Amino acid sequence: MKLSMKLKKKWGQHLLVSPGILKKIVEFAEIKPGETIVEIGPGPGNLTREILKTPLKKLYLIEIDPEMVETLKQTLKDERVKIFLDDATTFDFSKLQETSLKLIGNLPYNVASLIIENTVNYKNIISLALYMVQKEVAERLLQNTSWLSVFVNTFYKVQYLMSIPPRFFLPPPKVDSALIKLEKKENPPILNLKVYKKFLLQIFSKKRKKLRHKLDEKILKKANISPDKRVEELRLEEFIYLYRFFEEEFLFQKR
Ligand code: SAH
């Protein structure tokens, strides 16, 4: 890699430079012949080149920095690659016209949560995601203590694969990192994503308050959940169960 390249802080450019870790990430993806992969934030392409050693059919790259895209175009000569100069927080994965995608990325940490949220938006076509994120973000996703972690855990099985110290990156970030795997559940619940997000944001606002202050008591009663409970006491199944009654009420009011 050219050390002369200027890395941009605003786009969270911390490159993974350890060949061992790059290899390990790709191994975790278990890429089989014919699969379609998307890499988010390829940067100068260190991880990309490792991914291209697998028997994949097609590799889409989504990168926001035009300079990085230019470098990639000049250095990656592989017919399986298609590069998008685009923003992964809002990228429309359905335009790829694929039915099953595996996503991989050493994510820009400042927008990692937004990229994870956008992954869930396309859960019907994204079967697996392997993301390098800030360790703290990874740990939060393992517990149902934020709206986003419940949102993700509803559809994906989240696994913590390994911790990675700052020295493996260039420049080293100020925080520890972790690799996580999101694996689509076999039978995820069918629900209206927009309304579900609204529901989760609503019950995760003012966390310490009891549920009665956040939801119509009628809904809690129907779901047989105590209005004195707090959001951190709910189990994943309870969120989904409670949501059913919320959705019913919400759609009813809209009529
Ligand atoms: N994968 C590379 C670089 C990771 S750094 C490596 O491991 O070496 C994060 C990368 O994400 C940078 O290249 C940065 O330009 C890119 N990026 C930042 N914000 C983005 C966004 N919203 N959409 C797509 N790419 C983004």
Tens-digit pLDDT profile for residues 139-180: 999 999 999 999 999 999 999 999 999 999 999 999 999 999
Task: Please tell me the distance between residue 26's alpha carbon and the centre of ligand 1 in angstroms.
Answer: 17
Give 65 Cα–ligand 1 centroid separation in angstroms: 8
Q: Is 47 in the pocket of ligand 1 (CB under 6 A)?
A: yes
pLDDT at 252: 82
Write the pLDDT tens digit of every residue in 207-229.
Answer: 789 999 999 999 999 999 999 99
Which of 11, 39, 68, 110 is the pocket-test mutation for ligand 1 (most atoms within 8 Å of CB)? 11
The structure tokens listed for 96 are: 């790829």
> What is the C-alpha separation between 222 and 105, in angstroms, rounded?
42
Contact indicator for 137, 112 with CB cutoff of 8 Å? yes
Residue 108 Cβ contacting ligand 1 at under 6 Å: yes
pLDDT at 1 over 80: no
- Residue 119, pLDDT score: 98
SS3 state of residue 133 = strand
Residue 46 beta carbon below 6 angstroms from any ligand 1 atom: yes
Say what the pLDDT of residue 226 is.
96
Determine the distance separating the centroid of ligand 1 and the alpha carbon of 52, expressed in angstroms: 18
